[in-house]
């Protein structure tokens, strides 16, 4: 059979379709008689161009990538995710495996990965009531803390229609009161969509104002407010706020003080993209059609066929809104089932006392930025610090000597080893011996109070012996000649413990001098090993994030501890005379002996040997002989 179909494209090579066994729809040549039959019933040939359901079929050429780039990162799109980019391209074009091509382009988009957020709310998800017509029920919120522009704008009023998901972004100032907000709504929203029946919002002071509530009550509009510190009923605007934040970061570039000039572009990109909930763009739900986009201005042929549903606008719009309502209800039920899969319902009675977590609100207020922005920047810095961790936390294999502390350290060319607790909000088995929630950190330091080895991550209730055993079995295990350890450890190979029958802690030696080799050994052992106490105290004194209860997951908490130890070593190298160290020393002097005794847990991981006990005694006697020498 001979075929008479050619696929020419402006500014691109002419692609001739040919027969054969290739299953690609665009490489199979059709005769005009075969269209509209069998598997090709959705195809149409018009002016020598191939269409599928009013969409132009594109051959395998660079035009495909150009169309994807325009839909994803062109002048008006906003680096949307895969599904929204596919929906934009599919409106006018078709080719096999389009989803794969779009996914590859999105995966390579650096702007997308930098600016897009990922988050999950807590608590059971409860969908809002689904309205019947657009702009009958709306939700409102404010995005505050933005950089002040030349036009004195530092906030955005976000208004969202609960049916179509259409949104308007109005630049404003955070100093607006309820009267000004009502005026802004009438000037920017009322003129387009009229008075809504309900307005859903959070408990912003502007929405709690008596003026605001009275104003809308007289107009017959019902106000719906979310509960304090749990704005889930206003989740519609919360989602749009995140999307808007992504759009602004994608479009604004380095001109952070000009964000108000691109709000119109961001609003068009949002309203022109399809909603996952409705399956259509907000423009299409409200107006019955999409406005012209840059992709539709591409000089490519279009089909003359139109959908018959548009002939009767009244029936078409009614059916469109019914379909959207049914789809929203279906999607809400699907999302509700998925969202509540890993959540549990909490029931409260009137008069019950509950804890309210204010940390996120405090952080956002302090830094005048959204929680997502703060979190993203925090984790970026955390990754950078961890990349240089090996430069600052190094194990010493050949001993540690410092001339200025020769008398204290010349007998102990080694590191000091101890465990410390870092506050952490975790499950009950992470409680330490004092009942606080924490994570266990094993650390080794040198005489200069620098960490040589850090092993965080064990639950607070884990015994020191278990943590030490894990450290010794790891590939990057403890590798120094031997370590000064407290009385809780046995005196075994690689670990020098004090004599348990002799007083040890520095506080016990005030006003006293050693009278035998065991007392001298314990005194100098305590003096040298005091370095690890000072190191951990200095670490927690400098980094408040290690002192307060954190709501980060355990994996992130471990990364935070490692990063803080790396920065601690850097500071010790740059600022040897640290003023914070004076505060630490004063606190250690006032610490009660019982505080030390609480930490002397018996550790049997290292077995006691006679050879090592003899080594310790010989070292102590050499020390005492030199001490007595004239």
Radius of gyration for the chain, computed over Cα atoms and rounded to the nearest angstrom: 35
**Alpha-carbon distance 385 to 394, whole Å?**
15
pLDDT of amino acid 44: 77
As separate numbers, helices (DSSP H) first and strands (DSSP E) second, the chain gives: 22, 16
Q: Which two tokens stand for residue 498?
A: 């004090």
For residue 558, the model assigns a pLDDT of 85
pLDDT in tens, 490-548: 777 777 777 777 766 656 656 677 778 887 877 777 777 778 888 888 988 888 888 77
- Return the DSSP state at 232: G
Whole-angstrom distance, CA of residue 414 vs CA of residue 419: 17
* 3-class DSSP string for 583-608: HHHHHHHCCCHHHHHCCCCCECCCCC
Count of CB atoms situated within 10 Å of the CB of 611: 9
Domains and CATH numbers, the chain: 6-115 (1.10.340.70), 137-272+306-339 (3.30.420.10), 380-628 (no CATH)
Backbone φ/ψ region at 417: left (φ over 0), alpha (ψ -120 to 50), beta: beta
Tens digit of each residue's pLDDT (9 = 90 or more) over 116-137: 555 444 455 566 677 888 898 8
Q: What's the whole-number average pLDDT of the chain?
A: 72
Evaluate whether 472 touches 442 at the Cβ level (below 8 Å): no
CA angle 160–249–234, rounded 5-degree value: 25
pLDDT tens figures, 237-260: 777 888 888 788 777 776 788 888
Distance, in Å, from the CA atom of 345 to the CA atom of 125, rounded to the nearest integer, reads 10
How far is 13 from 16, CA to CA, in rounded Å? 10
Among the residues of 82-197, which ranges form H helices?
A: 82-90, 98-107, 110-115, 178-185, 191-193
Measured CA to CA, the distance from residue 336 to residue 529 in angstroms comes to 57
422 vs 415: CA distance, rounded Å:
21
Average pLDDT over residues 190-198: 88
Element (H, E) at 309: none
Indicate the pairing of strand 137-143 with strand 198-201: parallel
Q: Where are the beta strands (DSSP E) in 288-355?
A: none
pTM of the model: 0.46
- Residue with tokens 């954190």, as numbered in its chain: 550
CA–CA distances in Å: residue 370 to residues 146, 239, 266, 269: 9, 13, 18, 22
Counting every residue written for the chain, the total comes to 630
Give yes or no for a contact between 285 and 166, defined as CB atoms under 8 angstroms apart. Answer: yes
DSSP category for residue 497: P
pLDDT recorded at residue 25 = 41
Cβ neighbours for 111, distance < 8 A, ≥ 6 positions apart = 73, 79, 250
């Amino acid at each position: 059979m001979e075929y008479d179909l050619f696929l020419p494209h402006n500014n691109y090579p002419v692609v001739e379709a040919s027969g054969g066994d290739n299953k690609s729809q665009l490489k199979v040549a059709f005769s005009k008689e075969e269209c509209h039959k069998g598997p090709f019933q959705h195809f149409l040939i018009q002016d020598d161009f191939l269409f599928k359901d009013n969409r132009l079929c594109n051959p395998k050429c660079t035009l495909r990538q150009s169309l994807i780039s325009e839909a994803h990162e062109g002048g008006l799109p906003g680096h949307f995710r895969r599904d929204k980019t596919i929906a934009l391209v599919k409106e006018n074009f078709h080719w096999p495996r389009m989803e794969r091509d779009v996914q590859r382009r999105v995966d390579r988009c650096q702007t997308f990965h930098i600016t897009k957020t990922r988050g999950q709310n807590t608590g059971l998800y409860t969908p809002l009531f689904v309205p019947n017509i657009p702009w009958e029920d709306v939700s409102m919120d404010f995005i505050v803390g933005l950089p002040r522009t030349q036009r004195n704008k530092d906030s955005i009023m976000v208004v969202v229609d609960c049916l179509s998901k259409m949104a308007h972004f109005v630049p404003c100032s955070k100093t607006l009161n309820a009267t000004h907000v009502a005026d802004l709504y009438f000037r920017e929203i009322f003129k387009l969509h009229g008075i809504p029946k309900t307005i859903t919002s959070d408990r912003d002071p502007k929405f709690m104002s008596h003026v605001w509530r009275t104003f809308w009550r007289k107009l017959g509009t019902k106000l719906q407010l979310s509960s304090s510190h749990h704005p889930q009923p206003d989740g519609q605007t919360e989602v749009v706020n995140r999307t808007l934040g992504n759009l602004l970061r994608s479009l604004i570039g380095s001109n952070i003080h000009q964000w108000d000039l691109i709000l119109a572009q961001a609003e068009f990109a949002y309203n022109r993209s399809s909603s996952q909930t409705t399956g259509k763009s907000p423009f299409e739900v409200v107006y019955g059609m999409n406005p012209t986009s840059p992709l539709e201005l591409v000089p490519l042929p279009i089909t003359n066929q139109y959908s018959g549903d548009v002939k009767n606008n009244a029936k078409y719009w009614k059916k469109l809104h019914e379909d959207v309502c049914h789809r929203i209800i279906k999607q809400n039920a699907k999302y509700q089932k998925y969202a509540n899969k890993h959540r549990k319902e909490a029931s409260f009675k009137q008069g019950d006392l509950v804890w309210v977590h204010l940390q996120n609100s405090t952080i956002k207020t302090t830094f005048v930025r959204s929680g997502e922005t703060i979190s993203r920047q925090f984790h970026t810095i955390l990754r950078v610090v961890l990349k240089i961790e090996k430069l600052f936390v190094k194990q010493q294999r050949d001993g540690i000597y410092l001339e200025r502390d020769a008398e204290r350290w010349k007998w102990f060319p080694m590191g000091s080893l101890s465990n410390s607790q870092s506050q952490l909000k975790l499950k009950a088995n992470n409680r330490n011996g004092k009942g606080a929630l924490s994570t266990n950190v094993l650390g080794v330091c040198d005489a200069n109070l620098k960490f040589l080895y850090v092993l965080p991550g064990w639950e607070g209730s884990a015994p020191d012996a278990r943590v030490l055993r894990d450290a010794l079995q790891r590939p990057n295990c403890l590798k120094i000649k031997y370590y000064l350890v407290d009385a809780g450890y046995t005196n075994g190979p690689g670990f020098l413990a004090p004599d348990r029958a002799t007083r040890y802690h520095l506080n016990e030696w005030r006003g006293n001098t050693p009278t035998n080799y065991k007392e001298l050994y314990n005194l100098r052992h305590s003096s040298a090993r005091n370095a690890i106490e000072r190191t951990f105290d200095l670490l927690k004194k400098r980094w408040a994030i290690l002192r307060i209860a954190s709501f980060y997951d355990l994996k992130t908490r471990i990364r935070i501890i490692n990063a803080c130890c790396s920065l601690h070593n850097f500071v010790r190298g740059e600022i040897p005379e640290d003023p914070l160290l004076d505060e630490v020393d004063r606190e250690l002097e006032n610490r009660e002996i019982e505080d030390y005794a609480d930490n002397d847990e018996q550790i049997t991981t290292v077995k006691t040997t006679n050879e090592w006990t003899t080594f310790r005694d010989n070292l102590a006697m050499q020390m005492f002989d030199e001490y007595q020498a004239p």
